[in-house]
Amino acid sequence: MLLKHTTAKEIDRKALTVNPAKLCQPVGAMYAALGLHGCLPHSHGSQGCCAYHRSILTRHFKEPVMASTSSFSEGASVFGGSSNLNQAIDTIFTTYNPDIIAVHTTCLSETIGDDLVSIISKADEDGKIPAGKKVIWCNTPSYTGTHITGYSSQVKAFVKFFSKSTLQKKNVVNLVAGWMEPSDMMEIKRLSKIMEAHTIMFPDMTGVFDAPLDPVHYNMYPKGGVTQEDMTLTGDSKYSIGIGLLCTTEACKELDRKCKVRYDVTDIPIGLKATDRFLMMLSQHANVPIPDEITIERGQLLDLIADNAPHFYDKRVAICGSNPDLVIPLCEFLVTLDMRPVYVICGTPSTDFNKRMAEILKDIPEAKYACGNLADMFRFHQWIKQSGVDLIMSNTYGKYIARDENTPLVRIGFPIADRPGHNAFAKTGYKGAMKLAIQILDTLLDKKDRECAEREFEFQF
């Protein structure tokens, strides 16, 4: 009964957020920066911010996350952190030798009004940036936006600082990756490879957070991540596909504005329909067919859905997420499975969210959904208290509600701090959808086996 004060009765709230379903902007900027090879994210603010952002990523990925900080003291908090950043750039290149420093701001440096452009230009003039090295930056004040907008700003900065056009278009499609697990990105790259599409993915977390254990050598900059060279080439690609509306649209627009690379944006390919849409879009823009190998995987997913239809049918599901780019296709997949997503909460505001939810949930009249600041975990719990559900899908924070309401939980999203393995198996593509469907099924059947009457306790389900 950790959440025993949660009441079923909702009171109209205008400003108060209780247990927000989101994180702060720099977390996203830090995550995205790690998808650039040889890059050290730098948090321009106090040590506490950087420690929190690193620790939440570390707890999710079970990997050490490297980042530096401007370490604001009382003086910097009043007079600004320009000398801290200047000194930090010097120290980082001298001591840690990254190829790139990706600076993002925090609430404190934004409130002071530190001008990153002039501070970093001054560092360059003072010779603090060695030849061939780069310092890039983005603004991530956390009193607005969420980790998703922070991610989007960092990806846009990649384009701003690296992409170049030689006016010679190449037969390459940019895959601008939204916030996904490294395994999800790996699956998208696997599908693109089977299709023989020439692609550049950015950011690219594969080989970063899923690097193999090397007990002998410590490498501060793992082998993975999109390289500077590939990032430069994105300006000559013939098309960009943004995978996830909120995380990637700004970067796609910037690439179009800067290098005339036209773009389209689609959902993260979670579930049958979203994967169909992504593959057809890639097929069209890369001008390659979808081979049988992938069609067979699609058929296997359909077979799994058909075989287990009675177990999915009509199950009431409550979904709480922070990333609309994930929540939207997830809901769509549950509807494909004939489940009923009756409550959907998404902590990041999105203009698209309500429209998409209305479309996806049109045959579920009791469905309630909300996004933005007031779409918090308190409200989510209140809805569940009003009328229970068969399943909760959420990040680790959902476990408190799941325990209080004795409802099974499937962990999905960010952060998942209390279980391993979530970043080892993809949820994207047809194979990922099969994995997700089986995870849902196992969770529902485990509860049934635990609680059913003895006469219904069957060897076979």
Tell me the closest approach of the beta carbon of residue 31 to ligand SF4, in angstroms: 14
Binding residues for ligand SF4, how many (CB under 6 A)?
8
Tell me the closest approach of the beta carbon of residue 51 to ligand SF4, in angstroms: 9
Tell me the closest approach of the beta carbon of residue 281 to ligand SF4, in angstroms: 35
Identity of the residue, 43 or 163, whose beta carbon is nearer to ligand SF4 in the bound complex? 43
Q: Does 49 bind ligand SF4 (CB under 6 A)?
A: yes
Tell me the closest approach of the beta carbon of residue 17 to ligand SF4, in angstroms: 12
Stretch touching ligand SF4 by CB under 6 A, among 45-53, 299-307, 313-321, 346-354: 45-53
Q: Does 52 bind ligand SF4 (CB under 6 A)?
A: yes
Binding mask 169-198 for ligand SF4 (x = CB under 6 A): ------------------------------
Q: Does 57 bind ligand SF4 (CB under 6 A)?
A: no
Identity of the residue, 107 or 327, whose beta carbon is nearer to ligand SF4 in the bound complex? 107
Q: Which of 21, 22, 26, 145 binds ligand SF4 (CB under 6 A)?
A: 26
Q: Does 425 bind ligand SF4 (CB under 6 A)?
A: no
Tell me the closest approach of the beta carbon of residue 155 to ligand SF4, in angstroms: 19
The full 3-state SS of the chain, as one line of letters, equals CCCCCCCCCCCCCCCCCCCCCCCCHHHHHHHHHCCECCEEEEEECCHHHHHHHHHHHHHHHCCCCCCEECCCCHHHHHHCCHHHHHHHHHHHHHHCCCCEEEEEECHHHHHHCCCHHHHHHHHHHCCCCCCCCEEEEECCCCCCCCHHHHHHHHHHHHHHHHCCCCCCCEEEEEEEECCCCHHHHHHHHHHHHHCCCCEEEECCCCCCCCCCCCCCCCCCCCCCCECHHHHHHHHHEEEEEEECHHHHHHHHHHHHHHHCCCEEEECCCECHHHHHHHHHHHHHHHCCCCCHHHHHHHHHHHHHHHHCHHHHCCCEEEEEECCHHHHHHHHHHHHHCCCEEEEEEECCCCCCHHHHHHHHCCCCCCCEEEECCCCCHHHHHHHHHHCCCCEEEECCCHHHHHHHCCCCEEECCCCCCCCCCCCCCCCEHHHHHHHHHHHHHHHHHHHHHHHCCHHHCCCCC
Q: Does 24 bind ligand SF4 (CB under 6 A)?
A: yes
Identity of the residue, 105 or 248, whose beta carbon is nearer to ligand SF4 in the bound complex? 105
Q: Does 106 bind ligand SF4 (CB under 6 A)?
A: yes
Tell me the closest approach of the beta carbon of residue 34 to ligand SF4, in angstroms: 17
Q: Which of 84, 142, 240, 322 binds ligand SF4 (CB under 6 A)?
A: 142
Q: Which of 32, 36, 76, 107 binds ligand SF4 (CB under 6 A)?
A: 107
The contact set with ligand SF4 (CB under 6 A) reads 24, 26, 45, 49, 52, 106-107, 142
